[in-house]
Amino acid sequence: MYAAKFIILILILNLSLPFYAGSTTSALEGIGFLHYHEESSEPVFVLPSPKPSRTPVFTPLPANTKIPIETAATPSPVNTKIPIETLKPSSTPEASQSPVNDDKGDLPAVSDVLTQELLNKVYKQEGEKVAYLTFDDGPTPRFTNPILDILKEENIKATFFTIGTSVEHYPDTLRRIYEEGHGIGNHTYSHVFKNLYSDPDNFLEELYKNEKVLQVILDTDRPFRLVRFPGGSFGKKMEPYRKAVNDAGFVYIDWNCISGDAESVKAKPPKELLARLKETAYGHSSLVVLMHDAPNKENTVKALPSIIEFLRSEGCRFELLPGSR
């Protein structure tokens, strides 16, 4: 009898625990994210303490330091304490302009001005099927590099939504992503929900900061205005954040297809990831596929060749998300 009650209790907890389902922000508010182990430079996932006051946060980096372009043989964090007043650009990009080809209803070329209205069209396109492979929460060399190897072998370009703190630790991996022609999106500086979603201004500050880190490491002045909200931009609660992002000249993208590699703390086997992708791909002619190159995503790497094979069998061509290059 006690054993039966215990099993029922575990099932209830398993169903109610707020896992990273990739569908709503509220499901992620209580989850800790990337933290660096004292004895290793490799980031690890840390679950939150039962006490809200102990929710892990990032310790600010030393002030008045610059981002070195050179990197040591052993990965180490890049010091990037950038004065807040320098983060916000002096002029806002004209993201509200109408692109030249907007009247045709086509997606913009890389050089065209991208609006939110136009970007939203990636979810529904007529004609040939399109798949946009995206990877969130990196870079993490142990998993990002094998993913890049697979994409290179398959001659496919993908979009990587990177986190500033991870970029600082692994600038060489970011450079490889960029040099091999993949897209880069802005996934905030810290990915810490408590900080990001306490106020829209905090969210924008993290976007500006991550953009600056990306520009310095990649030695470019190009803007990184394609955003993915940690947890997604779904729901009424996120409305002021969506508005703030667009008003500041950014555009955002979510997803309509997932592998399920972040739906639970326990890693799903590669076969289950493929099955979940097939399930969520059904009925869509244009797929924005959510996957992750974060720590503990080795099964994402293992499943990727089968995922690509399936999408090709469905007649999909692979494209970069507009605004990612």
Q: Which amino acid makes up residue 273?
A: L
Q: What secondary structure letter does DSSP report for 216?
A: H
Give the integer Cα–Cα distance in Å for 216 and 221: 8
Q: Which residues pair with 257 in a beta bridge?
A: 289
Give the integer Cα–Cα distance in Å for 56 and 212: 24
Q: Which amino acid makes up residue 219?
A: D
The three-state secondary structure class of 225 is coil
187 is catalytic: no
Tokens encoding 100: 């030249």
Buried b (16+ CB within 10 A) or exposed e, 242-279: bebbbebbbbbbbbbbbbbbbbeeeebebebbbebbee
Catalytic position from the list 182, 187, 284, 292? 292
Strand ranges for 150-242 from DSSP E = 159-162, 183-186, 226-227
136 is catalytic: yes
Task: List residues with catalytic annotation.
Answer: 136, 292
